[in-house]
Amino acid sequence: MSSVKEKAPYQAWIVFLYVAIAILHLAGELSGYTMLSRSTKPLLLPALVVYLFSTRIHVVNMRIRNLAIIAASFSFLGDVLLMFVNFKSYFFLMGLGAFLIAHFFYIFTFRVIQKDSGLSFRLNYIMVAVACVYYFSLIGLIYGSLEPGFRLPVMSYGVVITVMLVYSFSIKNFLPTPFNNLLFFGTCLFIISDSLIAVNKFFTEIPLAGLLIMSTYIGAQFLIIRSIIEYLRVGNLEATDDESA
């Protein structure tokens, strides 16, 4: 038997810190206290990066954690860039680009998890159809309001996050129970958050938009990272058992 003591499934103090930052941020959004919301927003993703770093993993799973850290880091960059949208409109496209890269790295992470599991990947065509209908419906809703320079970036971003949604649904069974649905639910919340941004910015103003956008975004990032951490934890236990055999 290995003499190495496993850490707790996750570090509760980091989760409490993330929740505390999230509550403060949402309180700022709800109250209109801009200084509070702007000062707490850049702290959200760094807390999740620390969460990933603090998770004990086996060397064979290092690539998965690194990809997730890169995805979270680009999400942090996107958060910061979008804070300056009111100053210059191009910050929106820069933030969109940062999140586009983040989604690519999340998809790469999902791909490595699927390959690492050694199970056959099966595309769910019903999910593909539902995702495509949603994508084209949303684009159809906002397309007329998009400036020409925004159309291609917004549509491309929508394609990538739609792929992320389909992929997260297709690989959720590779994750340990009961965390196998967290990845898909997290991606769904990401879609909802981004849809709210798109509708609020390009179609019609949504009441409490900031609160709704950030609450779904905060939940999305946590659920995605939490599901990846659980996969890493289980993988670490299996690797340790193999070495002890």
pTM: 0.90
* Strand, helix or coil for residue 146: coil
Q: Around 125, how many Cα atoms within 13 Å sit in the side-chain half-sphere?
A: 0
Note whether 51 and 69 are within 8 A (CB).
no
- Taking only the tens place, the pLDDT of each residue in 153-211 is 999 999 999 999 999 998 877 776 667 789 999 999 999 999 999 999 999 999 999 99
Q: Domain residue spans in the chain?
A: 12-244
pLDDT band at 69 (very low <50, low <70, confident <90, very high): very high
- Taking only the tens place, the pLDDT of each residue in 42-68 is 999 999 999 998 887 776 688 999 999
Note whether 233 and 115 are within 8 A (CB).
no
**Rounded (to 5) percent helix, strand, coil in the chain:** 80, 0, 20
Residue 41 has pLDDT above 60, yes or no: yes
Looking at residues 57-85, what average pLDDT do you find?
Answer: 92
pLDDT band at 71 (very low <50, low <70, confident <90, very high): very high
Identify how many contiguous H helices and E strands the chain contains and give both numbers: 8, 0
